[in-house]
Amino acid sequence: DAGVIQSPRHEVTEMGQEVTLRCKPISGHDYLFWYRQTMMRGLELLIYFNNNVPIDDSGMPEDRFSAKMPNASFSTLKIQPSEPRDSAVYFCASSPGGARNTEAFFGQGTRLTVV
């Protein structure tokens, strides 16, 4: 398996524009997580899904952020409109189902810069 695949790897956009980040989890994994990492705040959980259903979106900073998982092999995180403070590295991770296999497998991340 190629692991968790994120695209794009880098994104530079202007303030006010819509940004869409994409993620393909590892096949067969039941859980998908979106994290954001900054120097100031570290790695923060934004939202996670179980079997394509959002379970906890309490980390989504505000209504400008939305995430979808239309099927088991694809998820998007959208920011509309984007702001400079959204600049960060966004990671997608997936995890197998079951009570014992709880480790998360991370993608390479998308470095977002909003100017």
Partner 1 sequence: SQKIEQNSEALNIQEGKTATLTCNYTNYSPAYLQWYRQDPGRGPVFLLLIRENEKEKRKERLKVTFDTTLKQSLFHITASQPADSATYLCALSKTGTGRRALTFGSGTRLQVQP
**Interface segment toward partner 1; rule CB under 8 A; list 13-21, 61-69, 75-83, 102-110:** 102-110
User: Is residue 103 classed as helix, strand or coil in its secondary structure?
Assistant: coil
Residue 31 beta carbon to partner 1: minimum distance, rounded to whole angstroms: 6
Instruction: Count the Cβ atoms, other than its own, within 10 Å of residue 73.
Output: 16
Confirm if 25 and 92 have CB atoms less than 8 A apart.
Answer: yes
First-to-last alpha carbon distance for the chain, in angstroms, is: 36
Contact flag: residue 94 with partner 1 (CB under 8 A):
no
**Can you tell me which of 48, 67, 82, 86 binds partner 1, judged by CB under 8 A?**
48
> What residue ranges bind partner 1 (CB under 8 A)?
4, 31, 33, 35, 42-45, 48, 50, 55-56, 91, 93, 95, 102-109
